[in-house]
Amino acid sequence: MHRNFHREIDKLRQKLLTMGSMVEDRVRKACSVVHSEDIQLAREIIASDWEIDEMEIEIEEDCLKIMALYQPVAKDLRFLITVIKVNNEMERIGDYAAQIAKRVKIVSKAEGLSFPFNFEVMTDLVMKEVNMSLDALVDRDVDIAKKIILLDEEINTLKRRAYKLIRKAMKKKPEFGRSLLNLYLVAGHLERIADRATNIAEDVIYMVEGEVVRRNIDSIRNSKR
């Protein structure tokens, strides 16, 4: 039974890595379409969203089966709990990437609209945070996980700046209201991707150290200042 248990854990870990690669790919493409307004690529992101949804269901079912059959404890139980949580976070990240693609399709139809906010820095930081969260998960690296928590503050600041500039543009150019509203939502979706990546980082800390970070996240931020 012991050998079978570890074989199942290894298969589960590989599936989680595969899903992580899929999510990373979708986020990279979603960040790309924000700048390029590549409608064909946006369609591809939307059309492939089901793949991540299916993988999420499969991984969750595997976790529940392992827990029922082997009744793991201690670190093994923490690992499975973390997989279930991370699995859900990654599925939500995939959903937000698809939502960004949908918003960009709408924005691309507005001829003559100039973006009131440059998304380049924000998309770069979001992509960096997603990459770091997956690296922390693969390597079980608590130090990287804690850096992600700090990085999230920068993305929140950028989202607030985007909201402010887009609201001003709505008042000046109400004829672009629908498109500007969708840009507003793009900023929100990017910020939510970053939030989910931060949640993954917190889950990694729980998996490695058994510490529930959400209770003392301020102490992590203060310790790095």
Neighbours of 116 (CB within 10 A): 19
Q: Which domains are present in the chain?
A: 2-223 (1.20.58.220)
Confidence grade of residue 217 (pLDDT, cut at 50, 70, 90): low
Confidence of residue 74 (pLDDT cuts 50, 70, 90): confident
Quick: pLDDT tens for 145-196: 999 988 888 999 999 999 999 999 999 999 999 999 999 999 999 999 999 9
CA atoms of 204 and 35, how far apart (whole Å):
32
Question: Which pLDDT score, from 0 to 100, does residue 107 have?
Answer: 92
What's the average model confidence in pLDDT over 22-41?
95
User: Does the pLDDT at position 219 exceed 80?
Assistant: no
pLDDT for 221 equals 52
Q: How far apart are the C-alpha atoms of 7 and 16, rounded to whole Å?
A: 14
| pLDDT for the residue numbered 216 | 58
